[in-house]
């Protein structure tokens, strides 16, 4: 299969109706915080056990088309010796890989940040591909206030996202482009909409400059939401504002938009996605690429105990099914009663 055909085949698999992505690519510090909440020490073995539990959940492939893995997980095996990427693939779940190296302060831009990791990326992608990865993800973050993000942060992060996407496609890997406008703060929904629109415009200008094939990439944006310290918004309002911004900024050639949950509760993330998909036909598939919003219920059921694997997997499968329904605009809140 030639390169464009391979990229198209991966995209086609990821954007199946009623399916989304499981983000299981938490960095060391992030997963340590989540484990701390349930009294589990984060070490290589506990992380392996947790991610094996996720990927071996019976029936998960019915609602999950791809999984974003952390580099460590790509090289780990289940108890029977099966590589974890293969464990996912057996369920029809395409393995992907987080490739950025995290964020740091942007020089001469107080309060703004930049994502690093472009150095040696092509070489790393070749290795990841040999380990089974067929798509990648790079996250850029944008802090929001009356002054933030600054123009430099918007342009620099868009440039990095576009460089990453071009290198991925050149390497036979489908890029997921993730510009996250953070919920932290007390900013209004209108401010979030303005920043999101500005960021997405800049990202697609940069993708065009880097000759990225839009049909062979996916977008992972944040929803338009008020800051965490502001009053929450109803799903209908979130849907209307988010879709308006997307229609203004995202070319129809992009096959899929897979939202991040970004600090929403599992129920909020599902309800907001459902509301968007009830607005009628869109140029792109609207789906999910959730981390905490999928993993929190099973994590609370697991508590690091092997004996709790089955209820934890049931909790994950239910969350995945509810989000699969939301992708079709068919979410039923009454089913949440079984999600505890």
Contact 65, 21 (CB under 8 A): yes
DSSP letters, 311-337, are HHHHHHHHHHHHHHHHHTT---GGGGG
Catalytic residue among 178, 180, 202, 268: 178
Q: Which residues contact 89 (CB under 8 A, 6 or more apart)?
A: 95, 132
Contact 45, 77 (CB under 8 A): no
33 is catalytic: no
Catalytic residue among 137, 220, 268, 296: 220
Beta strands in the chain (DSSP E): 20-24, 64-69, 94-98, 103-105, 113-115, 135-142, 174-181, 218-219, 256-259, 285-290
178 is catalytic: yes
C-alpha to C-alpha distance for 14 and 68, rounded to whole angstroms: 12
Catalytic residue positions? 178, 220
């Amino acid at each position: 299969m030639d390169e464009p055909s391979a990229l198209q085949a991966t995209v086609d698999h990821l954007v199946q109706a009623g399916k989304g992505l499981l983000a299981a690519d938490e960095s060391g510090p992030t997963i340590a915080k989540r484990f701390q909440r349930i009294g589990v020490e984060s070490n290589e073995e506990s992380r392996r056990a947790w991610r094996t539990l996720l990927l071996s959940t019976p029936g998960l492939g019915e609602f999950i088309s791809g999984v974003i893995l952390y580099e460590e997980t790509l090289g780990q095996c289940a108890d029977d010796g099966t590589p974890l990427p293969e464990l996912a693939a057996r369920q029809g779940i395409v393995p992907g890989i987080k490739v950025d190296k995290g964020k740091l302060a942007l020089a001469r831009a107080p309060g703004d940040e930049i994502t690093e990791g472009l150095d040696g990326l092509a070489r790393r992608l070749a290795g990841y591909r040999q380990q089974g990865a067929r798509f990648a993800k790079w996250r850029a973050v944008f802090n929001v206030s009356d002054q933030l993000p600054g123009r430099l942060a918007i342009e620099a992060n868009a440039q990095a996202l576009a460089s990453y996407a071009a290198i991925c496609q050149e390497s036979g890997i489908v890029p997921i482009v993730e510009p996250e406008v953070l919920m932290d703060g007390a900013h209004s929904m209108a401010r979030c909409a303005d920043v999101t629109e500005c960021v997405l415009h800049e990202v697609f200008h940069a993708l065009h400059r880097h000759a990225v094939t839009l049909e062979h990439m996916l977008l992972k944006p944040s929803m338009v939401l008020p800051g965490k310290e502001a009053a929450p918004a109803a799903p209908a309002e979130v849907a209307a504002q988010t879709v308006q911004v997307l229609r203004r900024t995202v070319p129809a050639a992009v096959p899929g938009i897979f939202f991040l949950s970004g600090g929403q509760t599992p129920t909020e993330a599902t309800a907001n996605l459902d509301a968007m998909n009830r607005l009628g036909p869109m140029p792109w598939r609207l789906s999910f690429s959730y981390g905490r919003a999928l993993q929190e219920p099973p994590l609370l059921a697991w508590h690091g105990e092997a004996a709790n694997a089955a209820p934890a997997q049931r909790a994950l499968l239910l969350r995945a099914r509810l989000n699969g329904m939301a992708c079709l605009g068919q979410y039923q809140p009454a089913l949440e009663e079984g999600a505890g």
